[in-house]
Structures are given as C-alpha cells and as structure tokens.
C-alpha cells in the first residue's frame, strides 16, 4: 500500500528523514542528538550523585573512543549539563523547550548562532564537543534513528488506518498531521515527550530499551495523541487531578493497538504505568474507541469511578463566607446559614444589577416603586434588610428603600445572603436579613476584564426597542506585596411602560457610570495589610409621571454615591487577628419634577446622606473558642429640603461573640454561637441585640441550625423630621422626633440533608419574627381639605412575619443541576388585622443550570412563580382601603453562554421573558433580550 | 479632576439638575385670570388660585382681577369660592344654585333662590358644594349637575358653571369655568 521506505543519504549534520506516513515530518538532527545525549549523561551523573531523577534503564551507546586530550573537554560538557540542565524537565521546563526549538531550527548548520534562547555557556559547550561527538557517536545515533524509524514506519502505516479513527472517536478530536518528530539516540528521561507550544513537537529516543518494536509504534501514536487532549482535559475538569488525562491517553492508545494486534501488550501494562487506573478507565472510557458513550458521559462515569469529586461540588464545599460571623468560615462550617451567589453564577445568569440577580433567588422578594427596587427577606420589607458592601453599611435609602438597581455587580466576587436576624453583629436594620456584596481582590500579576452587551426592551404589546448598553471593565494586579485595581462601567437603559394608553412610564430609564479603585500593600511578610479603596457612581434617571389631576411631569433624578474605605488588618500572633477601618459614604440625590405645559407644579428637591463609621475588631482563637469583639462609631446625617431640620445622629455599638466548638460529643459535631451587641444612639437611646445560634451535625450528611435573636431598626430621618404638606388634598405628614427604634425578636430553624447522591441537597427552614413598636402613620382620621389633618409618625403598630422555606438541589449529571424552591410566607399587621402589603403567600422557584464543558456551553434557565400579592387601595373613594390581590405571575429568565476559548465568552439571554408585572402594583422591568461578549485575561 | 475629587470629599461632583434641565417657565407673575371668548357670549376662564393664603378677587363687570378694596363679585383661594357679601365681604352679592337646567340655554336670571355667604360659602357649602373629593384618587371632582347665578345687587346677573379644579396641565387650584351675562329676572 505504501511505497518502500526510502532512507535519505545521511549527511554529516543529519536532517530530514523521509517519511512514508502522513502523520510525521521526521528529523534526525545533529545538534538535537548531541544535546539529548549530553542531557542523558548529565542526568545519569546526577543520579549517581544521589539525585532522584527518572531516567531510562542504561542504554548501550558503545564506546566513545576519546583521546586523553579530548576526555576532559567531554567531561566538562557532561558536567555543564549535570549542573545546568539535568534536573530540569525536558517537557515542562520552558528554557529546555526553547533550547530544543533553536537546535531544531539549526539542525543542518555547522555552527550554532547566538540566540536569546541558547545560553552562551551551553552554546560553547555544544560547539566544543561537536567535533568529538561527530566522530565518535553521531554516526551511530543517526544510523540508530534511521533504522528505528524504518522499522516503525511500516507498523505505523499498517496500524494507522485502523487505530487513527479509533483515537479520533475516543478523543473527539482529529489526529494531527505532519507532526515534527525528532529522533534522538540519547534518553529523554521518558521514552519520548511531546510539547504542544508552537505546534506538536515530538522527541523520541530510539535507543531507549522501552521504545523498541511495537512499543515504539505505540509511543508514536501516544505522543501524537497528546495533541488530541483539548476536549478530554476540560471534560475531566479541575478535580480530576494532574494525571488522569495522561492515564486515559496511555490506556486508550494501548487498547487501540491491542485491538489491532491482539497479541500486543500495551506499554502501560508492560511498564507498569498507571496500572491503578486501568480498571476504571477500561470500564468507563474504552468504549469511546467505538464512539460511545458521549465524551462528557464517559468522563463523568470515569471521575465517579476514580472517586474524583464533581468540580462544582468541590468548589461549593470549598466556598467561604464571612457575613455570618464577620470572620472567614467555610460555608459548610458556618453556624449561621448563608446563601452564596458566586461570580461564576452571576455571570452565568447574566444579571446586570443586584435587582435582576435577586429577583429569582428563592426566599427573596422584590418591591418596586418609583423609588426603585427594594428587597424583602422572610416577609419583611426593604427597611428591615441591611445591604452591605464588604461589610460596610450602605447609605442612600429613599423612603426606607435602598434601590438595588444602583448596584451593577461589576466588581462583585460573590453575594452572601443571610436570612434572619444579624443585628448582634451589624446593629440597625438587620432584622429580616443581610445582603453582603463581596468585591473582587486581585490575585494575579495582571488581570484584565472587559464585558460589553447590548439589548432590547420588549414590553407587553410593544415592539423591540434597542435601548440597553452595558459596558464595564477592570484592570488589576497583585505583584508581590502590592495590589492595585481600577475599574469603570457604563450602563444605559430605556424607560418602560406597562400601560401605553397614558403618557406615564412604569419604570424610569437611566444612564449610569461608575469608577472605583483599590490600592493595598502587604506588610511584615504578609502579616499585615493596609488598603484604601474608593468608588464613585452617578446615575441619571428619566421618567414621566401622571398625577391624578391630569398633570404630567417629566421626572429627572440624579443620584451620586461616593464611598471610601481605609483598612488595616494584622495578624500579630498565629491565633489573633486585628482589624481597624474607617468608611465614609455619601449619597446625593436631586429630584426635579417638571410639569408639562406649565410651571406651577415644578419642584426641585435635593438631599444629601452621609455616613461615617470607624470600626475595630479583634478575633482571638482560644482552644475551641473563636472569640470576636468589636466596636463601631457611627455618625449619619441627612440634609433634605423635605425635612423640617437637618437629621444628625451618633451611635456607638459594641459587640462580643464566641463561636464555640462544643467538645466531647463523639461523632456529633456541635457549635454554639452566643453574641451580643449593644448600640447607644444619640436620638433613640440604647438597643441591646443578643443572639444565640447553634449548629449541630448529628450525622455527616445532616446539619441542623437554630438561631434566636433580637433586632432593631433605627427610625429614619424622614420618619423623625419629615414635613410634607399636601394642602390641596388636605393633609400634612409630620415626622416625630421622639420616635423609638422598632424592635424585633426572631427564631429561625433550619436543616440541611445531603442525600447519598453526590450534589443532592434538601434544605428546609422555618422562620418567625415579631415586630413591635412599629413606626407607622395613623391615617384613620379623615383627611379634610378645609382643615388639613396632621398625620404624625408613631411607634404604634406591631406585626409578625413567619413562614417556611424548602429547597431541593438535584445534580442530574456533571454540570447539570436543577434547583427547586418553595416559600410560604404569612406576614400580618396586628393593628390593621391584615396581611402586609406586597407579600406573596406562595412562591415557587426553579432553576436549571447546565454546563457542557467540551463545547464550552453553559445554559441557565430560572423561573419563579410568585403567587397573588395583597395591596391596599381605596377603590371606591369612601376613605376605606380595600384589599386587592394581584394575579400570580411567573418570572422567566434564560441565558446561554459560550466560552469558545479560556479568555472569552459570548452570551445571549433574556429576562422577564413572560412579561410578568403590571403598571400599578408590580412595575418590574419587562422582557429584555441581550447579547454580549466578555474578554478576560 | 482634582477639583472633582475635592468636591467629592465635601459633597458631590455632578452638576445641579436645574442647570441641565431648566424648568420650562417661571412662577406666574400677575396674570391671575385668563379669559377666552366662546360662542353665545360665554367666556371660558382660568383662574390662578394656587396661593395657599391669598385670595384672587374678580370683578365680573370688567372681567378682570381687582384688589379687595375695589368692587368685586367673587374671590378664589384654592378650592374656596366666596361671594362679596354676608360673612365673606361688605358687598351685596348673592348667589343662587341652579340644578336640573341647561347652562347653555339659560338667558335670564331666576327670580329667587339667592343666598349670601354664611359660615360656609354658597359655592362650597350648599348641596355639598361645587365639588366632591374623591378619596380613592385624591382628586377634586366637579359636581357638574349644577351652575350658579350671581346677582351683584346692582342689577348685574351672571351665570357660572365650574369646569374643573385643575387646569389643562393638571395644576390644582388653577380652576376653569364658563360664565356669561344674564338678563335680569322678569
């Protein structure tokens, strides 16, 4: 079938060897041979001196026949190789790799050139012994090379048409063509090695006793197939360990040749390589030689058989959290149940801001109004949820609502959610829970990330409107002790409208940009760190409002947020950590309402919120106790033209906490977490907030958690000092400077059961919160345009919120998960004797996440059914509000991401695909379709 | 940039919204009554009664705004409409409420039914007043089953029908109404 092998006449320097098979471009190069021979002798010298190197069994190269004058020159060359190169790996060492390329390029030259990748010393050594080698050994090596390939070529030619298709099926890749094959007489450490940089490049030792006969042919197929691992390695993933893919390669090629030559004993079997992996590979993988099952299925099966954890499961188990105790803990060990949304997850769902991300999070509800989107946890509204960035309280609540669409997620590494009381650590507002955004810290010498997307809004009954742009990027570095980061983002988004019959919009359009930066330095060899970061964000909103009177307003709002933090962390002793930090946050808001066609109702209001905090925290590990104590000074102020005076107050909070690993319970693990914080405020006085939390692991697969805690919410400056007159309607709303803080008591019980199936988790929790001294306006007095009624805030009401949350995480295959969740909420106002507005009783959520690594595809589909929600409105104008229920609605989001290379991704997706929402009660953003790219270095 | 950073530390850096989006008009300066002639001698008027404390006094003879010292028939303050007489002023103005008749076809003033303002004004107090307050929508809705006849006590009669508490741009207390001269009663 193939023409007879024609061996070129050997020239003095050697060179191209004629190859009858298309797979190889064969070389027998003088310099390559000399280099590998010296490398072998250097390695053997080092082994003789006691170094632990993997070298072939002795090879009989025959006598060198050097003269007494030549011997020292030769010995010096071997010595140079022993010292310089012998302990470097021929495959993995970059310098050796470069050197090999230089020698290949000059294989037929009489002398070597000066080259950056050819150290002068080595070049001199090679040239000094070249005449000796050419006379004494090169003819033998060159002849051995040519003889070896002459024997291999017919075997390759014969087996190739059978074996190559098998390998192509097994590895889902094309067998490479015309691979450069360098034949050398000396040892390469192993019998052969292949580098892939700049195209596959095989160096095979022709005198190595392990490489003779058909084993040599297997080596050629094996080395070529190194270039076919691009699908296999990602399919096996990061938890497969560094060797598994190579074992798969060994046993697959060996088995292919064994099938062709039934009496052939595969190399790995004969040499005892990766024998422990033979059985699982045979069971899970080798059917791939027939093309079945699919690569990922076989890879998953193999990983299971070798006991490698699912990368997702492994990553989830390694996840750390910080919010529950203000110290870093593994998620599984955290006494306070914490939910984490990682960077990978938030990229996979494609959320552009915090509102979009949390809308579909089980047990989280969004509230929409003209002030933006606020978050509810455990049936408690936005005023009872504390939002933090890196543990820092955010300022800029408007009407008690912190607008989550302000937070772009650009710089967010993960989001931690704690449901239930956390006032024992964080003080005011942490009643329903805490949402903590953890920002990214540089980890590499150079990190570059850019992301850009555009999209369309497609509201109900409206066409596609191209009105979305989101571009963001950051550059960061960690160079030794220095860390720096600079990021910026720009977003614009059109307004939307659920009721096009009138001119009013349902949601504002906006443009926003933000910049932030970080500088940090490690001191005392990493025992301390100082950092400073600052960020600025500006957002312009535009909307159209329609008043009952028919007045139309162009509403423009301009918000600015500035945050700066300076922080010092130190670890003065092994079990002691000390942190000191200061933070300031400014939030300036301008609101202009411009009446169309007139100026009578034009208004302009401005407000400026400021917060200053200084914190100190000490953590001390004492045997099984992890003690933390801290103090916080807080000053906050609000200037607003709607307030009767400038709001200003000071608070000092002190907390202590003990995380105690209760000993002596045998197999049962228990942790107890008592904590207490006391806040003393210049306006409302003292608020103690104790908490007791418990974590019990009665079985390795079962975790039980319980916590009981108090909380409080400081009255807002609006509630204290508001002066809002609506004389035309007939009322005045006044703040009440004597308000006390609202108080709460909460009980949470939770259980996690990890099912015997890997990656399956059942969780359930019960929560109950009692709120007392609730601040409300008593609006029972009739309003009267003649003598406007004065409504005043008071600590008059009480309420409770309770419910049940259940979730099931199912791992269907590697990279494919289904999450199901159900939340039952019962939240009632005790005075009004009615359900709290806007809280759905039932919420059901589902999420499908599927990743197909070999193609780099990732799909996330999220759906949430939100049951009917009660609202209160006076429909018939008799002054008594009736309860109205919205219809149930389904939020559906989907995003498909394709990672064609490690540093890039292309994504298309849509949010609110079913156009859930309405103009009056739930004016959430309508259907949006987006597509974009992300580049990352 | 340096200046911006400094400002950041003090307050903020973005320009005032009013610089970027100037309001489209200034507050009204004196033009409190706008009249528009319609068919059949009817005038359509918009009165600016937006001030919380001050009254706008109107002389129907001259169809213009006058001061309190001058002869005026009606005064407007927000939703309150007074007639110059009784508890509202020293004049002799009386007002009759006419229900169930067509405003457009009325040409002669009724013989009787005239009242002076008392504790409440005729416009605001009689038969529920000229408007109803819709608590659900927080909106004043005109009771348009009626119109008023004004007798100035000096031989002048006018019919007046309220259109709305809001002007065409939706501004509250910029009331609109139609009015026309009537023949004296037979």
| Ordered structural domains, chain A, with CATH | 14-228 (no CATH), 229-308 (no CATH), 404-440+450-533+542-936 (2.40.170.20)
Structure tokens at A914: 């079913």
A98 touches chain B (CB under 8 A): no
Residues of A in contact with B52 (CB under 8 A): 727
| Predicted local confidence at residue A705, as pLDDT | 96
Instruction: Please list every residue in chain A whose beta carbon sits closer than 8 Å to the beta carbon of residue B138.
Output: 548, 729
pLDDT tops 90 at residue A902: no
How many residue contacts between A and B have a Cβ separation below 8 Å? 114
Residue B28 lies in a domain: no
Per-residue pLDDT at A73: 93
| Tens-digit pLDDT profile for residues A690-749 | 999 999 999 989 999 999 999 999 999 989 998 887 655 567 888 899 999 999 999 999
pLDDT for the residue A12? 47
pLDDT recorded at residue A377: 93
- Are A547 and B170 within 8 A, CB to CB? yes
DSSP SS3 for A660: strand
**Domain for residue B29, yes or no?**
no
Cβ–Cβ below 8 Å for A728 and B78: yes
A600 touching B (Cβ < 8 Å): yes
| The 3-state secondary structure of A814-848, one letter per residue | CCEEEEEEEEEEEEEECCCCEECCCCCCEEEEEEE
pLDDT averaged over chain A? 89
* Residue A878 pLDDT level (bands cut at 50, 70, 90): low
Residue of A nearest to B22 (CA): A594
Chain-centre distance for alpha carbon A521: 24
CA-based nearest residue in chain A for residue B50: A600
- Give the pLDDT confidence score for residue A785 in this predicted structure: 56
Dihedral sign computed on CA atoms, order A346, A348, A349, A353: positive
Question: In degrees, to the nearest 5, what angle opens at C-alpha A782 toward C-alphas A781 and A786?
Answer: 120
Contact A551 B166 (CB under 8 A): yes
State whether residue A787 sits within 8 Å of chain B by CB. no
Q: What digits encode the pLDDT tens for the residues A658-706? A: 999 999 888 899 999 999 999 999 999 999 999 999 999 999 899 999 9
- Asked if A598's CB is within 8 angstroms of B169's CB, the reply is yes
Q: With 80 as the cut, is the pLDDT of residue A39 above it?
A: yes
pLDDT at A241: 81
Share of chain A above pLDDT 90, in %: 59
Q: Encoding tokens for residue A547?
A: 């008043």
Out of A562, A595, A875, whose CB is closest to B169? A595
Q: How far is A539 from chain B (nearest CA, A)?
A: 10
* Shortest alpha-carbon distance between residue A668 and chain B (Å): 53
User: Which residues, including other chains, have CB under 8 Å from residue A858's CB and lie 6 or more apart?
Assistant: A348, A849, A850, A851, A852, A896, A897, A898, A899
Q: Which residues of A touch B139 (CB under 8 A)?
A: 548-549
Contacts of B34 in chain A (CB under 8 A): none
Rounded to a whole number of angstroms, the distance from the CA of A512 to the nearest CA of chain B is: 12
pLDDT value, residue B9: 52
Q: Total structural domains in chain B? A: 1
Task: Determine, for residues A877 and B79 on separate chains, whether the beta-carbon distance falls below 8 Å.
Answer: no
pLDDT at A463: 86
Q: Which residues of B touch A791 (CB under 8 A)?
A: none
pLDDT reading at A312 higher than 50? yes
| Among chain A residues, CA nearest to B48 | A600
**Residue A582 confidence (pLDDT) above 60:** yes
C-beta atoms of A728 and B17 within 8 A: no
* Contacts of residue A239, Cβ cutoff 8 Å, sequence gap at least 6: A303, A308, A309, A310, A311, A314
Residues of B with CB under 8 A from a CB of A: 8, 11-14, 16-18, 21, 23-28, 48, 50, 52, 78-79, 133-140, 165-174
Contacts of A785 in chain B (CB under 8 A): 78-79, 133, 140
CA distance to A519, A922, B138, B165, B172, per residue, from A548 (Å):
52, 19, 7, 12, 10
Task: Look at residue A347 in the predicted model and tell me its pLDDT.
Answer: 87
Chain B residues whose beta carbon lies within 8 Å of the beta carbon of residue A556? 17, 21
SS3 A321: strand
Residues of chain B with pLDDT under 50: 1-3, 6-7, 10-11, 26
Minimum mean pLDDT range among A510-514, A604-608, A757-761, A775-779 = A775-779
Q: Let me know if residue B15 belongs to a domain.
A: no
Q: Which two tokens stand for residue A892?
A: 């559906």
In this predicted complex, what is the ipTM? 0.80
- Using pLDDT thresholds of 50, 70 and 90, give the confidence band for residue A4: very low
Nearest to A559 by CA among A535, A542, A541, A533: A541
Chain B CB within 8 Å of residue A504 CB:
no
Q: What pLDDT band is residue A788 in, cutting at 50, 70 and 90? A: low
φ/ψ (deg, to 5) at A201: -145, 110
What is the model's pLDDT at position B102?
Answer: 94
Cα separation, A362 vs A844, in Å, equals: 8
Smallest CA–CA separation between B15 and chain A, in Å?
Answer: 9
Residues of A in contact with B6 (CB under 8 A): none
Please judge whether B170 and A595 are an interchain contact, meaning their C-beta atoms are less than 8 angstroms apart: yes
Nearest to B170 among A549, A556, A599 (CB): A549
With a CB-CB cutoff of 8 Å, which residues 544-573 of chain A face chain B? 547-552, 554, 556-558, 560, 562
- For residues B59 and A5, which has the higher predicted lDDT (pLDDT)? B59
Minimal Cα distance from B171: which residue of A? Answer: A551
**Chain B residues whose beta carbon lies within 8 Å of the beta carbon of residue A552:** 169-170
**Six token digits for residue A800:** 């409770």
Contact B171 A551 (CB under 8 A): yes
CA distance A339 to A334: 11
B3 occurs within a structural domain: no
Are residues A549 and B171, on separate chains, in Cβ contact within 8 Å? yes
Mean pLDDT, to the nearest integer, of A812-828? 91
Q: Find where tokens 């509201």 sit.
A: A459
Chain B closest-CA separation from residue A397 CA (Å): 17
What does the pLDDT average to over A13-33? Answer: 83
Of B13, B137, B172, the CB nearest to A560: B13
A234-243, A498-507, A540-549, A759-768: least confident range:
A234-243
* A809-813, A932-936, B26-30: the lowest-pLDDT one: B26-30
Say whether pLDDT at A874 is over 50: yes
> B16 in a domain, yes or no?
no
pLDDT tier, A231 (very low <50, low <70, confident <90, very high otherwise): confident
Chain B residues whose beta carbon lies within 8 Å of the beta carbon of residue A558: 14, 17
- In the structure, what pLDDT confidence band is assigned to residue A5 with cuts at 50, 70 and 90? very low
Query: What pLDDT digit, counting tens, does each position of A184-196 carry?
Result: 998 776 778 888 7
- Residue B135 has its nearest CB partner, among A562, A601, A879, at A879
Q: Do A601 and B171 touch (CB under 8 A)?
A: yes
- For residue A369, name the pLDDT band (cuts at 50, 70, 90): confident
Q: Does residue B116 fall inside a structural domain?
A: yes
Hey, which bits of chain B come out as E strands?
33-37, 43-48, 56-59, 64-66, 74-77, 80-83, 94-99, 114-115, 131-134, 139-142, 146-151, 157-166, 172-181
Helix axes A244-260, A295-306, angle to 10 degrees: 110
**Residue-level pLDDT at A703:** 95
User: Is residue B13 domain-resident?
Assistant: no
Partner residues linked to A29 by β-bridges: A14
- Using a CB-CB distance cutoff of 8 angstroms, which residues of chain A are in contact with residue B165? 549
pLDDT digits (tens, 9 = 90+) for A627-638: 999 999 999 999
- The 10s digit of each residue's pLDDT in A593-640 is 888 888 888 888 899 999 999 999 999 999 999 999 999 999 999 999
* CA–CA min distance A737, chain B (Å): 26
Nearest CA in chain A to B25: A599
Residue A782 clears pLDDT 80, i.e. is over it: no
Q: Domain range spanning residue B134? A: 35-181
Query: What is the average per-residue pLDDT within A63-72?
Result: 89
> Is A604 in Cβ contact with B135 (below 8 Å)?
no
* Inter-chain touch A874–B23, beta carbons under 8 Å: no
Examine residue B130 and state whether it is found in any structural domain, yes or no: yes
| Nearest CB to A876; choose among B133, B136, B173 | B136
Q: Which residues in A lie closer than 8 A to residue B31 (C-beta atoms)?
A: none
The CA–CA distances, whole Å, from A714 to A685, A778, A830 equal 10, 19, 21
pLDDT score at B1: 46
Nearest to A602 among B14, B23, B137 (CB): B23
Matching residue, tokens 């001050």: B54
């Amino acid at each position: 079938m193939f023409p007879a092998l024609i061996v070129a006449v050997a020239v003095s320097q050697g060179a191209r060897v004629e190859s009858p098979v298309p797979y190889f471009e064969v070389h027998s190069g003088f310099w390559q041979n000399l280099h590998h021979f010296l490398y072998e002798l250097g390695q053997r010298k080092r082994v003789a001196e006691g170094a632990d190197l993997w070298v072939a069994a002795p090879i009989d190269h025959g006598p060198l026949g050097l003269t007494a004058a030549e011997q020292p020159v030769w010995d010096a060359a071997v010595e140079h190789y022993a010292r310089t190169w012998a302990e470097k790996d021929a495959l993995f060492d970059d310098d050796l790799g470069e050197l090999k390329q230089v020698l290949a390029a000059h294989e037929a030259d009489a002398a070597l050139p000066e080259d950056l990748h050819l150290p002068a010393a080595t070049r001199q050594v090679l040239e000094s012994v070249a005449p000796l080698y050419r006379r004494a050994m090169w003819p033998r090596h060159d002849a051995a090379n040519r003889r070896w390939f002459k024997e291999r070529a017919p075997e390759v030619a014969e087996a190739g048409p059978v074996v190559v298709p098998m390998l192509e099926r097994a590895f889902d890749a094309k067998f490479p063509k015309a691979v450069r094959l360098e034949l050398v007489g000396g040892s390469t450490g192993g019998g052969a090695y292949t580098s892939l940089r700049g195209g596959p490049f095989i160096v095979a030792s022709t005198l190595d006793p392990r490489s003779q006969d058909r084993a040599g042919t297997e080596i050629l197929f094996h080395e070529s197939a190194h270039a076919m691992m691009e699908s296999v390695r990602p399919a096996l993933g990061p938890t497969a360990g560094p060797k598994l893919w190579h074992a798969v390669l060994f046993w697959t090629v060996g088995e292919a040749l064994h099938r062709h030559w039934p009496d052939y004993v595969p190399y790995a079997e004969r040499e005892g390589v990766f024998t422990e992996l033979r059985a699982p590979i045979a069971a899970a993988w080798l059917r791939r030689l027939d093309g079945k099952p699919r690569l990922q299925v076989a890879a998953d099966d193999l990983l299971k058989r070798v006991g490698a954890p699912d990368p997702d499961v492994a990553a989830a188990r390694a996840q750390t959290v910080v919010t529950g105790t203000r110290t870093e803990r593994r998620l599984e060990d955290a006494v306070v149940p914490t939910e984490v949304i990682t960077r990978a997850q938030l990229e996979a769902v494609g959320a552009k801001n915090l509102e979009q991300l949390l809308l579909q999070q089980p047990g989280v509800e969004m509230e929409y109004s003209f002030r933006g989107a606020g978050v509810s946890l455990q049936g408690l509204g936005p005023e009872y949820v504390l939002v933090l960035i890196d543990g820092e309280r955010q300022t800029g609540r408007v009407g008690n609502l912190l607008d989550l669409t302000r937070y772009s997620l650009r710089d967010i590494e993960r989001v931690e959610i704690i449901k239930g009381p956390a006032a024992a650590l964080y003080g005011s507002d942490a009643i329903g829970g805490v949402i903590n955004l953890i920002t990214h810290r540089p980890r590499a010498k150079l990190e570059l990330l850019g992301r850009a997307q555009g999209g369309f809004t497609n509201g109900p009954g409206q066409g596609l409107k191209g009105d979305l742009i989101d571009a963001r990027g950051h550059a960061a570095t960690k160079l030794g002790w220095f860390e720096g980061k600079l990021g910026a983002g720009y977003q614009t988004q059109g307004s939307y409208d659920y009721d096009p019959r009138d001119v009013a919009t349902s949601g504002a359009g906006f443009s926003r940009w933000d910049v932030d930066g970080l500088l940090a330095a490690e001191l005392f060899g990493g025992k301390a760190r100082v950092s400073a970061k600052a960020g600025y964000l500006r957002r312009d909103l535009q909307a159209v409002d329609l008043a009952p009177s028919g007045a139309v307003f162009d509403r423009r709002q301009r918000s600015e947020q500035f945050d700066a933090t300076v922080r010092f962390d130190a670890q003065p002793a092994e079990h002691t950590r000390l942190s000191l930090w200061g933070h300031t946050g400014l939030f300036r808001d301008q609101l202009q309402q411009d009446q169309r066609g007139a100026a009578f109702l034009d208004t302009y209001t401005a407000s400026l919120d400021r917060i200053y905090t200084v914190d100190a925290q000490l953590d001390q590990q004492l045997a099984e106790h992890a003690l933390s104590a801290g103090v916080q000074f807080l000053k906050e102020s609000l200037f607003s033209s709607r307030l009767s005076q400038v709001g200003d107050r000071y608070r000092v909070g002190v907390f202590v906490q003990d995380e105690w690993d209760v000993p002596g319970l045998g197999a049962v693990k228990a942790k107890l977490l008592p904590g207490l914080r006391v806040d003393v405020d210049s306006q409302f006085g003292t608020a103690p907030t104790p908490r007791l939390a418990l974590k019990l692991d009665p079985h390795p697969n079962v975790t039980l958690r319980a916590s009981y805690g108090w909380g409080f919410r400081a009255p807002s400056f609006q509630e204290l000092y508001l002066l809002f007159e609506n004389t035309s309607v007939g009322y005045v709303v006044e703040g009440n400077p004597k308000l006390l803080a609202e108080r709460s008591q909460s009980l949470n019980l939770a259980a996690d059961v990890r099912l015997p199936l890997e990656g399956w988790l059942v969780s359930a929790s019960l929560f109950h919160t009692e709120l007392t001294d609730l601040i409300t306006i008593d609006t029972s007095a009739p309003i009267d345009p003649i003598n406007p009624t004065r409504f005043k805030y008071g600590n008059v009401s009480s309420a409770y919120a309770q419910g049940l949350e259940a979730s099931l995480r199912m791992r269907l295959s590697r990279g494919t998960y289904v999450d199901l969740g159900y939340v039952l909420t019962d939240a009632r106002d005790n005075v009004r004797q009615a359900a709290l507005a806007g809280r759905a009783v039932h919420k059901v959520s589902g999420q499908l996440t599927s990743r197909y690594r070999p193609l780099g595809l990732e799909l996330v589909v999220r759906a949430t059914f939100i049951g009917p929600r009660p609202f209160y409105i006076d429909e018939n104008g008799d002054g008594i509000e009736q309860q109205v229920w919205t219809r149930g609605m389904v939020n559906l989001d989907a995003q498909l991401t394709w990672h064609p290379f490690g540093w890039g991704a292309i994504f298309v997706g849509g949010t609110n695909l079913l156009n859930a929402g309405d103009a009056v009660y739930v004016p959430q953003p309508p259907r949006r379709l987006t597509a974009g790219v992300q580049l990352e270095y | 940039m340096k200046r911006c950073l400094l400002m950041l530390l003090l307050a903020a850096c973005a320009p005032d919204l009013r610089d970027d989006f100037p309001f489209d008009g200034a507050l009204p300066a004196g033009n409190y009554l706008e009249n528009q002639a319609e068919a059949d001698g009817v005038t359509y008027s918009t009165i600016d009664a937006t001030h919380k404390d001050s009254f706008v006094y109107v002389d129907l003879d001259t169809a213009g705004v006058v001061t309190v010292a001058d002869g005026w028939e009606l005064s407007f303050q927000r939703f309150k409409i007074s007639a110059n007489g009784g508890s509202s002023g020293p004049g002799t103005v009386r007002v009759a409420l006419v229900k169930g008749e067509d405003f457009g076809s009325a040409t002669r003033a009724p013989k009787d039914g005239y009242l002076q303002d008392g504790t409440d004004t005729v416009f605001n107090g009689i038969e529920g007043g000229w408007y109803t307050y819709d608590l659900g929508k927080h909106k004043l809705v005109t009771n348009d089953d009626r119109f008023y006849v004004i007798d100035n006590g000096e031989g002048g009669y006018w019919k007046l029908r309220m259109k709305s508490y809001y002007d065409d741009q939706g501004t509250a207390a910029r009331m609109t109404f139609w009015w026309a001269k009537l023949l004296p009663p037979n």
